[in-house]
Structure 1
Amino acid sequence: MTDPADQLAEDRRMREAAKANFTAGIAQVKADLGARSVPARVIAKAKDEAVETMATGLEIAEESKGIVAGVVAAVLLWLFRAPLLRKIQAFRNKRRAARVQAGNDSADLD
């Protein structure tokens, strides 16, 4: 069995080592915060994550160009749906008018 005095001395050394470790960690945090403020750190982290997300997006886009082209086409069709629908309706009206006119012309020949 160990001597209580030796055990106490060992416990104190362990406590002092832990305290020194903790104090060094606190000093490091204070030094880091002194170098850059918390808002600056948040902004930097957000920028880093945005850049990483864009890089990942570009990698995915390069791998699936067909899907990207399809999505872009769908978005463009959606954005220009009103003018496209008007043109389609005008085209149908012209065809209908031409059929009606053709029907009237053949009736006049009889």
Structure 2
Amino acid sequence: MSDETLHEARARRNAAWARFNGQKDALRTGLAEKSIPARIKDAAMDRVIDTVDEAKAVAKDNIPVIGGTLALLAAWFFRRPLINLIKNRFGSDEADEDVT
């Protein structure tokens, strides 16, 4: 290699090394300000907040569907007491009619 090409290669190497050191220093500075676990936590919280906001928007657009679903769930949860209530209410009337 000639002296000129060697000099150019060294200049390119030094420039690349300087860029690398600059990026390394920027990374260290960034990590000193906020650690990786804190960054992960913040990113996760941002996603959770976005998901909650999206769920609120969907719920606002579908209030009747949500109300109907909740009513059906409540009816299913209280199905035995409701069935007993209906049997007692209408069963006693049928028993009274049979007696007379």
**So what's the TM-score if we normalise by structure 1?**
0.68
Instruction: Choose which of 15, 20, 23 in structure 2 pairs with 1:22.
Output: 20
Query: Following the alignment from structure 2 to structure 1, what is the Cα–Cα distance between the partners of residues 20 and 26?
Result: 10
Q: Residue type of the partner of 2:95? A: V
Please identify the structure whose Cα radius of gyration is greater.
1
**Counterpart of 1:99 in structure 2: which amino acid?**
E
| Aligned pair partner of 2:71 in 73, 77, 90 | 73
- Residue from 88, 91, 97 that aligns with 1:96: 91
Unaligned runs of 5+ in 2: none
Q: Please give the alpha-carbon distance, in whole angstroms, between the structure 1 residues aligned to 2:82 and 2:95.
A: 20
* Whole-Å separation in 1 of the counterparts to 2:9 and 2:68: 69
State the match for 1:85 in structure 2.
80
Runs of 4+ in 1 over 6 A off after TM superposition: none
User: After superposition, where does 1:45-84 map in structure 2 within 5 Å?
Assistant: 45-78=43-76, 81-82=77-78, 84=79
Aligned to 2:33: 35
Number of equivalenced pairs: 100
Q: Secondary structure at the match of 1:92?
A: helix
Q: Distance in 1 between matches of 2:70 and 2:22?
A: 54
Task: Pick closer, same or farther for the CA change 1:93–1:75 going to 2, 3 Å.
Answer: closer
Deviation of 1:30 (Å): 0.7
| 1:24 positional shift | 1.0
How far apart, CA to CA, are the structure 2 residues paired with 1:7 and 1:77?
Answer: 85
